[in-house]
Amino acid sequence: MNAEKKIYTTDFLVIGSGIAGLSFALKTANHFKDASITIITKNEKNECNTKYAQGGISTVWDTTVDSFEQHIEDTLIAGDGLCDKEIVKMVVEAAPNRLQELINWGTNFDKTQNGNYSLGREGGHSQDRILHHKDITGAEIERALIEQVEKTKNITFLTYHYAIDLITEHQVTKKQITRKEKTTCFGAYVLDQQKNSVKTFVAKVTMLASGGNGQVYSTTTNPVIATGDGIAMAYRAKAEISDVEFIQFHPTALYNPGEYPAFLISEAVRGEGAILRDFEGNRFMHNYDKREELASRDIVARAIDNELKKSGAPHVYLDCTHINFGAFKKHFPNITEKCLSLGIDVKKDFIPVSPAQHYICGGVNINKKAKTSIKNLYASGEVTKSGLHGANRLASNSLLEGIVFSHNAFDNLCKRFHKIKMPNNVPEWNDSGVVKNMENILITHDRNEVKTIMSNYVGIVRSNERLLRAEKRLLNLYEDNKRLYDHSELSVDLCELRNLITTAYLITQFSKNRKENKGGFYNADLIKKEL
Ligand code: FAD
Ligand code: SIN
């Protein structure tokens, strides 16, 4: 490890450069002109789940055909009774203003020939209400936000800076803190991956916007950065966490063995009329839900899982052959091209698809102001449990959640930032007594083991026995990894492994404790619910 050690102070420390982190940084920087804002991100500027978002962002845009009430109702139905109604109402009603800000920042959403925004449809939505940029909406949002951030003088944007742990009283007083005690966040310890040194970032306000954790599963649509760091860091800092058992599996990832992460075939394709067929070519969704292909995601994913278990086939098919090809290609150029690169011509061939982990509905508890249970630690986006999604997120409500809660955090800070003092006496990172880890292969093995355990035992359909097995194996991995972590020189691989094990364990524990099947959570040993 590089001997250079430094303490850096910044007014706002933003962990993550997806939609939640960037939109928060921009708002605060533009309002608090004299304040310093530091964004740290562990990879390239735009490498995050946001970049891969396809379908778009839901909002009630055309009030002649749609209404807040309908978007609220669709969100509540998808959430299967566990959404916070007040939060759902707040988010849905805030959506048009937040979308307008994205547009003002330069995001281009597709328009129809008459100049109105083109509104797409996805599963669980009773109206067309998804603003999109072709089938690469997230990449377009990242482009626009990063361009704005780069023009903003009081933002420092540090790539390949990996947050290891949040700093709270635990590090300052060196005393163990219990989950019941009130704590404050003073910033974070951050590994500068290029200099190989740990920097201490002391901040008045820390915004945790570190995204999801798809990498705990063998098959996921999430990029490799999605390792649950934020949930694990917050958990170690004793923040309140909930609902992490509600893992959303996307029904239609492209079945292409060996490709990792899985390429997504957007739900908007079903919104355009695509049909699911089993391995023999027969339709099946009418056996599961009267909304058929446009039932909410938990229902469609479980239906496909059931079909695959019955038939033993590796995938089902998505049939787009009846859809006007010109219109299809215009809306989905990336999907059309990807399929063609694999010899699948969507005009005449069915697309092989199967479910893949896609999203985590729970996470770090926040209130409507995006405050966590730790003072001066805010959180926004996929890392959180805000109450919007309940047991199953409605399609295209996630990007929306990120911009709404980042705005709310900003709004709250307008009232209280001037009262927050820069923390002092924060100790530097201590890495005495560690040695260079010679066997990176152990980390790779353990990472693969976590994925196998979670996919085998904590997948779409769980059982008491499966959860017990997962718990036992994850505890073993935790012990082995703890030894490695306490004595080895830090690396991103090692830290990510620690966080993967922690989030996998939390998902398993919360699953064991859940006594009713709801939304994306299904334990076959609990009272049976209609598939
Ligand atoms: P992210 O965009 O994932 O950003 C997290 C950031 O934190 C990244 O920059 C990451 O590098 C950084 N980070 C993580 N850990 C650390 C650390 N330890 N140190 C430093 N930096 C760290 N949702 C929709 O609403 N509509 C869609 O159409 C849609 N399509 C999707 C398609 C795909 C393929 C995927 C994977 C997801 C899709 N989603 C969609 C979900 C949505 O994209 C995400 O939930 C959302 O983008 C999350 O935004 P975020 O800002 O919270 O996190
Ligand atoms: C998709 O395009 O199917 C993904 C939408 C989402 O995750 O909300």
Classified by CATH at the fold level, domain 7-245+361-419 comes out as FAD/NAD(P)-binding domain (3.50.50)
Strands of 384-385's sheet in order across: 241-242, 363-365, 384-385
According to the CATH classification, is domain 440-530 in 1.20.58.100? yes
Instruction: Tell me which residue has its CA closest to atom 21 in ligand 1.
Output: 41
pLDDT, tens digit, for every residue of 366-408? 999 999 999 999 999 999 999 999 999 999 999 999 999 999 9
**CA of 264, nearest ligand number:** 1
Task: Answer yes or no: pTM beyond 0.75.
Answer: yes
Report the pLDDT averaged over residues 306-331. 97
Domain with CATH 3.90.700.10 in the chain: 251-356
- Closest Cα to atom 1 of ligand 2: 266
Mean pLDDT of 252-263: 97
If you measure from the C-alpha of residue 152 to the centroid of ligand 1, how many angstroms do you get, rounded to a whole number?
22
- In the chain, ranges of CATH 1.20.58.100 domains: 440-530
Q: Tell me the CATH class for 251-356.
A: alpha beta
CA of 123 to the centre of ligand 2 (A): 9
CA atoms of 501 and 508, how far apart (whole Å): 10
Q: What is the DSSP string of 396-407?
A: T-HHHHHHHHHH
| Residue 176 pLDDT | 83
Model pLDDT, residue 174: 80
CA of 194 to the centre of ligand 1 (A): 23
One-letter amino acid for residue 424 of the chain: N
Q: Is 372 in the pocket of ligand 1 (CB under 6 A)?
A: no
* pLDDT reported for residue 528: 57
List, in order, residues 6 or more apart from 176 with CB less than 8 Å away: 170
Residue 4, pLDDT score: 60
Between the CA of 165 and the centroid of ligand 1 the distance, in Å, is 19
Pairing status of strand 241-242 against strand 363-365: antiparallel
Mean pLDDT for the chain overall: 95
Cα 25 to averaged position of ligand 2 atoms, centre (Å): 25
**Region for 134 from its dihedrals, namely left if φ exceeds 0, alpha if ψ lies in -120 to 50, beta otherwise:** left
Residue 110 in this model has a pLDDT that exceeds 50:
yes
- The highest-confidence range among 122-126, 172-176, 482-486, by mean pLDDT, is 122-126
If DSSP states are collapsed to H, E and C, what string results for 217-262? CCCECCCCCCCCHHHHHHHHCCCCEECCCCEEEEEEEECCCCCCCC
Q: Which tokens in the block code for residue 359?
A: 């999203």
Give the mean model confidence (pLDDT) for residues 497-521.
97
Q: Indicate the SS3 state at residue 103.
A: helix
Q: Is 229 in the pocket of ligand 1 (CB under 6 A)?
A: yes
- pLDDT for 244 equals 98
Q: Give the closest ligand to the alpha carbon of residue 221.
A: 1
Q: Are 16 and 211 in contact (CB under 8 A)?
A: yes
Site to probe by mutation for ligand 2, drawn from 91, 267, 335 as the one with most ligand atoms within 8 Å of Cβ, is 267
CB atoms within 10 A of CB 418: 8
* Angle at alpha carbon of residue 171, lines to 229 and 504, rounded to 5°: 25
For residue 531, the model assigns a pLDDT of: 46
Q: Give the ligand 2 atom nearest the CA of 395.
A: 8
pLDDT tens figures, 206-218: 999 999 999 999 9
Beta strands 57-58 and 7-15: pairing type? unpaired
Q: How many CB atoms lie within 10 A of CB 445?
A: 13
- The residue whose CB lies within 8 Å of the most ligand 2 atoms, and thus the one to mutate among 50, 140, 250, is 250
What CA–CA distance (Å, rounded) separates 531 from 529? 6
- How many other CB atoms are there within 10 angstroms of residue 449's CB atom? 19
- Residue-wise pLDDT for 10-54, tens only, equals 999 999 999 999 999 999 999 999 999 999 999 999 999 999 999
* Close Cβ partners of 305 (under 8 Å, ≥ 6 residues apart): 249, 355, 460, 461
Any catalytic annotation for residue 447? no
User: Which residues have any ligand 2 atom within 6 Å of their CB?
Assistant: 54-55, 264, 266-268, 395-396, 398
Give yes or no for residue 120 CB within 6 A of ligand 1. no
Task: Give the ligand 1 atom nearest the CA of 50.
Answer: 47
Find the 50 Cα to ligand 1 centroid distance in Å: 4
The predicted pLDDT at position 438 comes to: 63
pLDDT for the residue numbered 434 = 72
Q: What is the pLDDT, as a whole number, of residue 175?
A: 80
Buried b / exposed e over 463-489, threshold 16 CB at 10 Å, is: eeebbebbbebbeebbebbeebbeebe
Indicate the burial class of 258 (C-beta count within 10 angstroms; 0-12, 13-18, 19 or more).
exposed
Residues of the chain with CATH 3.50.50.60: 7-245+361-419
First-to-last alpha carbon distance for the chain, in angstroms, is: 53
